[in-house]
Amino acid sequence: MGKINRPRHGTMAVRPRKRAASQVPGIGSWPKAQEPGLLGFAGYKAGMTHGTMIDDDPGSVTKGHEISMPITVLEAPPLFVFCLRAYKDTPYGKKAAADVFADKIDEKIRKQLMLPKALKSAEAMKKAEALGPALSDVHVLAFTSPSLAGFGKKSHDVMEIAVGGKDAKSKLEYAKGILGKEVKASDVVKDGEFFDTIAVTTGKGWQGAVKRFGISMQRRKATGKYRHVGTLGPWHPAFVMYTVPMAGQMGYHNRTEHNKRVLKVCAAKERITPDGGFLNYGVVKNDYILVKGSVGGPMKRLVRLRKAIRMQGAKVSKPEIKFISLQSKQGV
C-alpha cells in the first residue's frame, strides 16, 4: 500500500501559476506612513555579489560577529513624476477623481506614454483641491529612465506609487511639490530599511508535472511513460480538481518577497561593478541599491520596492558593512 501521509506536492500559495500580464507588476496594497514621501521605488536587477557585515540582529546567535552574506545590486536611475492622481471614496470603493499632469513633459515621451495633447493641468488641479473632505488618497504616476543605464532598454516603465502622510491634504501638498520633478533613490530608500520586493520571476516556459511540481517519476512498467501523473483524481468527485499536478506554465509569475533589508543606497561614483562587468548586464552607471539576499527575476528585470507592509514601525539601524566583493563573476 502506498504511503498516504506524505507532504503535498507544490504549494497552494502561488495559484494560479499563469504568466504575468505585464513586466511592470502592479501593487494592490500599501502601508500607512505618517511621514510625507513616496512609499515605493523601482530599479533594474544588475546582478549579485557577496560581502561581509557585522550581524546586528538582536535575536541572532552571531550578534556582533562578522558574517558573510549574498547581495543583490539594483541599478536605480531617477524616477520622473509626471502625474498626480487624486482618489475619492465611493459606494463601490476608491475611485480616481482627478489626474493632474506635469506642465512640462517632453513631446517624445508624451507620445510614448500616449498622453492626451491637451493636458489641462490647471483645471485638473482645481478639481483635486475642490474635493476637500471627499479626498481620500493621493498617488503619483512615474516612469523610469532605463536609457540612462547601459543594458539597452529604451522604453519607459510606468508605475503608480502611493504617497505617505498624516492625511489626504498633506499627501496632496507633497505630491504637488514633486510633480514634474525627478526623484532619486536616496530620497525614498534609507540604509537599513526593510522593503518588500515585487518582480516577475524568470520564465521557464511550458513544463511537465515532474519539473513543475516535483512529483515522483513512474516505474518502467507503469504505462510505458515515466514523467507523468499516476492518476488525475478519484471517481468521486467525478472531475479533475485544480489541485492535481499537471503540465503548464512555469515561471514568469508576479511574486512578492516580504521584509528584504536594504543594506546601502550608493551614489553612481561609488564603484560596485565587478571586474569584467555584471554577467548579462554590464556596467552600473547610476545610483544603486544593495539588497541583502536574492531578488526575483533575471538580469535587467524591473524590480519594484515597497516599504515593508508587515514591519510598520520597525526600528531602522544602519548596517556596518565591512567588505563587498568586486571580483569578476564571468567564470562563476
According to DSSP, residue 170 is labeled: H
pLDDT at 115: 85
Say yes or no: 122 and 191 in one domain: no
In the listed set 137, 166, 183, which residue is the last one of a domain according to the structure?
183
Whether 237 is covered by a domain: the verdict is no
156-176 confidence digits (pLDDT tens) = 999 999 999 999 999 999 999
Distance between CA 160 and CA 253 in Å, rounded? 20
**Which CATH number does the domain housing residue 142 bear?**
3.30.1430.10
Q: How confident is the model at residue 331 (pLDDT cuts 50, 70, 90)?
A: low
| Structural domain range at position 162 | 79-183
- Number of structural domains (the chain) is 2
265-298 confidence digits (pLDDT tens) = 999 889 999 999 999 999 999 999 999 999 999 9
Say yes or no: 19 and 144 in one domain: no
Whether 49 is covered by a domain: the verdict is yes
In the listed set 183, 206, 239, which residue is the last one of a domain according to the structure?
183
Distance between CA 75 and CA 252 in Å, rounded? 21
- C-alpha cell recorded at residue 269: 561614483
pLDDT at 2: 61
Q: What is the residue-averaged pLDDT of the chain?
A: 91
Pair 43, 185: CB distance under 8 Å: yes
